[in-house]
Amino acid sequence: MNYKLQKAVTIFAITLFAIAIINSISKIPFVHAQEDSASGILGLFPPDSEPYGLTYGEWTAKWWQWAFSIPEAVNPTIDDTGMNCANNQSGPVWFLAGTNGGAVTRECTIPSDKGILIPIINALCDSATEPALDTEAELRACAKADQDTVIGKEVTVDGLNVGNLDSYRFQSPLFNLTFPENNVVGVAPQTAKAVSDGFWILLEPLSPGSHEIHFKGLLGDPTATGTANFALDVRYLLTVV
Protein backbone atom coordinates (compact mmCIF):
# COMPACT_ATOMS: atom_id res chain seq x y z
CA MET A 1 0.00 0.00 0.00
CA ASN A 2 1.35 3.37 -0.95
CA TYR A 3 0.05 6.17 1.27
CA LYS A 4 1.05 8.96 -1.05
CA LEU A 5 -1.25 11.19 0.94
CA GLN A 6 0.40 10.70 4.34
CA LYS A 7 2.79 13.63 4.32
CA ALA A 8 2.08 14.43 7.96
CA VAL A 9 3.33 11.11 9.30
CA THR A 10 6.62 10.88 7.35
CA ILE A 11 6.03 7.49 5.78
CA PHE A 12 8.10 8.63 2.85
CA ALA A 13 10.88 10.10 4.98
CA ILE A 14 14.23 9.20 3.45
CA THR A 15 16.13 7.61 6.30
CA LEU A 16 18.95 5.09 6.20
CA PHE A 17 16.43 2.38 7.04
CA ALA A 18 14.10 3.28 4.20
CA ILE A 19 16.96 3.44 1.71
CA ALA A 20 18.15 0.02 2.85
CA ILE A 21 14.67 -1.46 2.39
CA ILE A 22 14.34 0.01 -1.11
CA ASN A 23 17.76 -1.20 -2.14
CA SER A 24 17.27 -4.70 -0.74
CA ILE A 25 13.85 -5.19 -2.31
CA SER A 26 15.01 -3.81 -5.64
CA LYS A 27 17.53 -6.65 -5.87
CA ILE A 28 14.77 -9.28 -5.72
CA PRO A 29 13.41 -10.33 -9.14
CA PHE A 30 9.79 -9.38 -9.73
CA VAL A 31 7.16 -10.95 -11.96
CA HIS A 32 6.17 -8.69 -14.88
CA ALA A 33 2.98 -9.80 -16.67
CA GLN A 34 4.14 -13.41 -16.54
CA GLU A 35 1.54 -16.04 -17.32
CA ASP A 36 1.41 -18.65 -14.60
CA SER A 37 -0.80 -21.69 -14.15
CA ALA A 38 -0.85 -20.94 -10.43
CA SER A 39 -3.62 -18.41 -11.03
CA GLY A 40 -6.09 -21.20 -11.77
CA ILE A 41 -4.80 -23.39 -8.96
CA LEU A 42 -5.18 -20.55 -6.47
CA GLY A 43 -8.76 -19.66 -7.36
CA LEU A 44 -7.97 -16.11 -8.43
CA PHE A 45 -10.97 -14.01 -9.49
CA PRO A 46 -10.43 -12.69 -13.06
CA PRO A 47 -9.93 -8.93 -13.44
CA ASP A 48 -13.23 -8.40 -15.30
CA SER A 49 -15.30 -10.41 -12.80
CA GLU A 50 -17.59 -9.15 -10.05
CA PRO A 51 -16.59 -11.14 -6.95
CA TYR A 52 -19.44 -11.24 -4.44
CA GLY A 53 -21.39 -8.77 -6.54
CA LEU A 54 -18.83 -5.95 -6.83
CA THR A 55 -16.11 -5.09 -9.34
CA TYR A 56 -12.47 -5.05 -8.34
CA GLY A 57 -12.52 -1.25 -8.40
CA GLU A 58 -15.46 -1.18 -6.01
CA TRP A 59 -13.73 -3.62 -3.66
CA THR A 60 -10.62 -1.42 -3.60
CA ALA A 61 -12.76 1.54 -2.47
CA LYS A 62 -14.19 -0.60 0.32
CA TRP A 63 -10.65 -1.61 1.31
CA TRP A 64 -9.57 2.03 1.76
CA GLN A 65 -12.73 2.83 3.70
CA TRP A 66 -11.93 -0.09 5.99
CA ALA A 67 -8.25 0.82 6.38
CA PHE A 68 -8.88 4.45 7.26
CA SER A 69 -11.89 3.82 9.52
CA ILE A 70 -9.70 2.24 12.21
CA PRO A 71 -7.88 4.45 14.75
CA GLU A 72 -4.10 4.46 14.56
CA ALA A 73 -3.56 2.53 17.82
CA VAL A 74 -5.27 -0.60 16.49
CA ASN A 75 -4.93 -0.13 12.74
CA PRO A 76 -3.86 -3.29 10.84
CA THR A 77 -1.85 -1.29 8.28
CA ILE A 78 0.72 -0.28 10.90
CA ASP A 79 0.65 -3.55 12.84
CA ASP A 80 3.96 -5.44 12.77
CA THR A 81 2.60 -8.72 14.18
CA GLY A 82 -0.89 -9.32 12.80
CA MET A 83 -2.58 -8.95 16.18
CA ASN A 84 -4.99 -6.36 14.72
CA CYS A 85 -5.77 -8.22 11.48
CA ALA A 86 -9.39 -9.01 12.43
CA ASN A 87 -10.36 -5.44 13.35
CA ASN A 88 -13.48 -4.20 11.53
CA GLN A 89 -13.54 -7.18 9.17
CA SER A 90 -17.04 -7.89 7.87
CA GLY A 91 -18.76 -9.21 4.75
CA PRO A 92 -17.63 -11.94 2.36
CA VAL A 93 -14.10 -10.56 1.71
CA TRP A 94 -11.22 -10.43 4.19
CA PHE A 95 -8.88 -7.48 3.74
CA LEU A 96 -5.13 -8.00 4.10
CA ALA A 97 -3.07 -4.88 4.84
CA GLY A 98 0.05 -3.54 3.21
CA THR A 99 2.52 -1.32 5.02
CA ASN A 100 3.57 2.32 4.99
CA GLY A 101 6.85 1.10 3.51
CA GLY A 102 9.27 -1.63 4.55
CA ALA A 103 9.07 -5.33 5.36
CA VAL A 104 6.81 -7.11 7.83
CA THR A 105 5.61 -10.62 8.71
CA ARG A 106 2.17 -11.00 10.25
CA GLU A 107 0.30 -13.96 11.69
CA CYS A 108 -3.47 -13.97 11.28
CA THR A 109 -6.42 -16.35 11.71
CA ILE A 110 -9.24 -15.98 9.17
CA PRO A 111 -12.49 -17.84 8.43
CA SER A 112 -12.54 -20.44 5.66
CA ASP A 113 -15.52 -18.85 3.90
CA LYS A 114 -13.89 -15.49 3.12
CA GLY A 115 -12.40 -14.28 -0.14
CA ILE A 116 -9.05 -12.55 0.41
CA LEU A 117 -8.21 -9.14 -1.06
CA ILE A 118 -4.47 -8.49 -1.42
CA PRO A 119 -3.27 -4.86 -1.85
CA ILE A 120 -0.06 -5.51 -3.78
CA ILE A 121 0.97 -1.88 -4.30
CA ASN A 122 -1.39 1.05 -4.69
CA ALA A 123 -2.03 4.73 -4.05
CA LEU A 124 -4.83 6.89 -2.72
CA CYS A 125 -5.43 10.56 -3.41
CA ASP A 126 -8.06 12.40 -1.39
CA SER A 127 -9.35 15.92 -0.80
CA ALA A 128 -8.62 15.94 2.95
CA THR A 129 -4.86 15.54 2.79
CA GLU A 130 -4.55 17.22 -0.62
CA PRO A 131 -7.15 20.04 -0.54
CA ALA A 132 -6.01 21.36 -3.93
CA LEU A 133 -7.45 18.21 -5.51
CA ASP A 134 -11.13 19.04 -5.51
CA THR A 135 -12.36 17.33 -8.70
CA GLU A 136 -12.63 13.67 -9.63
CA ALA A 137 -10.35 14.19 -12.64
CA GLU A 138 -7.63 15.70 -10.44
CA LEU A 139 -7.87 12.87 -7.92
CA ARG A 140 -7.65 10.26 -10.69
CA ALA A 141 -4.64 11.93 -12.29
CA CYS A 142 -2.88 12.12 -8.91
CA ALA A 143 -3.36 8.42 -8.13
CA LYS A 144 -2.47 7.36 -11.67
CA ALA A 145 0.76 9.38 -11.71
CA ASP A 146 1.93 7.56 -8.60
CA GLN A 147 1.17 4.06 -9.89
CA ASP A 148 2.64 4.76 -13.32
CA THR A 149 6.05 4.63 -11.57
CA VAL A 150 5.65 1.04 -10.29
CA ILE A 151 8.68 -0.96 -11.45
CA GLY A 152 8.19 -4.24 -9.59
CA LYS A 153 5.45 -6.36 -8.06
CA GLU A 154 5.03 -9.98 -7.04
CA VAL A 155 2.59 -12.23 -5.19
CA THR A 156 3.03 -15.82 -4.07
CA VAL A 157 0.45 -18.00 -2.35
CA ASP A 158 1.85 -21.10 -0.65
CA GLY A 159 4.98 -20.67 -2.76
CA LEU A 160 3.17 -20.41 -6.10
CA ASN A 161 3.70 -17.28 -8.18
CA VAL A 162 0.60 -15.44 -9.34
CA GLY A 163 1.31 -14.31 -12.89
CA ASN A 164 -0.13 -11.70 -15.24
CA LEU A 165 -0.26 -9.04 -12.52
CA ASP A 166 -0.30 -6.20 -15.03
CA SER A 167 -3.92 -7.20 -15.75
CA TYR A 168 -4.80 -6.53 -12.12
CA ARG A 169 -4.38 -2.77 -12.01
CA PHE A 170 -7.60 -1.00 -11.08
CA GLN A 171 -8.87 2.51 -10.45
CA SER A 172 -11.71 2.84 -7.99
CA PRO A 173 -14.86 4.81 -8.55
CA LEU A 174 -14.96 8.15 -6.76
CA PHE A 175 -15.86 7.39 -3.13
CA ASN A 176 -16.24 9.01 0.26
CA LEU A 177 -13.51 8.40 2.81
CA THR A 178 -14.23 9.09 6.47
CA PHE A 179 -11.35 9.93 8.81
CA PRO A 180 -12.13 9.15 12.48
CA GLU A 181 -10.50 10.61 15.56
CA ASN A 182 -6.83 9.59 15.88
CA ASN A 183 -6.65 8.37 12.29
CA VAL A 184 -3.48 7.02 10.69
CA VAL A 185 -3.05 10.09 8.48
CA GLY A 186 -3.21 12.65 11.26
CA VAL A 187 -5.88 14.90 9.75
CA ALA A 188 -8.90 16.30 11.57
CA PRO A 189 -11.95 13.99 11.59
CA GLN A 190 -13.88 14.56 8.36
CA THR A 191 -15.28 12.98 5.21
CA ALA A 192 -13.39 13.52 1.95
CA LYS A 193 -13.58 12.54 -1.71
CA ALA A 194 -11.05 9.93 -2.83
CA VAL A 195 -9.81 7.80 -5.72
CA SER A 196 -7.49 4.79 -5.59
CA ASP A 197 -5.22 3.34 -8.28
CA GLY A 198 -3.05 0.27 -8.03
CA PHE A 199 -2.54 -3.48 -8.22
CA TRP A 200 -4.78 -5.89 -6.32
CA ILE A 201 -5.84 -9.53 -6.48
CA LEU A 202 -8.80 -11.23 -4.87
CA LEU A 203 -8.56 -14.91 -3.99
CA GLU A 204 -11.35 -17.36 -3.49
CA PRO A 205 -11.52 -18.77 0.06
CA LEU A 206 -8.55 -20.89 1.04
CA SER A 207 -8.92 -24.38 2.46
CA PRO A 208 -8.70 -24.83 6.24
CA GLY A 209 -5.15 -25.10 7.52
CA SER A 210 -1.92 -23.12 7.27
CA HIS A 211 -1.18 -20.87 4.30
CA GLU A 212 1.39 -18.25 3.38
CA ILE A 213 0.72 -15.15 1.28
CA HIS A 214 3.71 -13.02 0.31
CA PHE A 215 3.47 -9.82 -1.71
CA LYS A 216 5.90 -7.04 -2.50
CA GLY A 217 6.11 -3.97 -4.67
CA LEU A 218 8.48 -1.18 -5.67
CA LEU A 219 7.96 2.18 -7.31
CA GLY A 220 10.20 5.11 -8.20
CA ASP A 221 13.92 4.93 -8.87
CA PRO A 222 15.73 2.59 -6.43
CA THR A 223 19.10 4.07 -7.44
CA ALA A 224 18.16 7.54 -6.19
CA THR A 225 16.95 8.97 -2.90
CA GLY A 226 13.77 10.99 -2.87
CA THR A 227 10.17 11.03 -1.71
CA ALA A 228 8.99 9.17 -4.83
CA ASN A 229 10.73 5.96 -3.77
CA PHE A 230 8.50 3.41 -2.05
CA ALA A 231 8.93 -0.29 -1.33
CA LEU A 232 7.01 -2.86 0.67
CA ASP A 233 7.44 -6.56 1.41
CA VAL A 234 4.57 -8.23 3.32
CA ARG A 235 4.32 -11.84 4.43
CA TYR A 236 1.13 -13.25 5.99
CA LEU A 237 1.21 -16.55 7.84
CA LEU A 238 -2.46 -17.48 7.81
CA THR A 239 -4.41 -20.01 9.82
CA VAL A 240 -7.70 -20.67 8.02
CA VAL A 241 -10.43 -22.12 10.21
Q: How far apart are CA 22 and CA 27, in angstroms?
A: 9
Quote the pTM value: 0.85
Give the confidence band of 224 by pLDDT, cuts at 50, 70, 90.
low
Q: How far apart are CA 58 and CA 2, in angstroms?
A: 18
Q: What is the pLDDT of residues 153-190, one digit of tens each?
A: 999 999 999 999 999 999 999 999 999 999 999 999 99
The yes-or-no verdict on residue 206 having pLDDT over 90 is: yes
Q: How far apart are CA 11 and CA 37, in angstroms?
A: 36
Q: Which of 129, 145, 233 is nearest to 187 (CA)?
A: 129
Q: Say what percent of the chain tops pLDDT 70.
A: 80
The yes-or-no verdict on residue 14 having pLDDT over 80 is: no
Q: What's the pLDDT score for residue 121? A: 96
Q: What's the pLDDT score for residue 226? A: 53
The yes-or-no verdict on residue 18 having pLDDT over 70 is: no
Q: What is the average pLDDT across 20-33?
A: 42
Give domain limits for the chain. Answer: 7-229
Q: What is the pLDDT of residues 97-113, one digit of tens each?
A: 999 889 999 999 999 99
**183: exposed, middle or buried (C-beta count within 10 Å: 0-12, 13-18, 19+)?**
buried
Please tell me whether residue 38 adopts helix, strand or coil conformation. helix
Q: How far apart are CA 73 and CA 153, in angstroms?
A: 29
Give the confidence band of 38 by pLDDT, cuts at 50, 70, 90.
very low
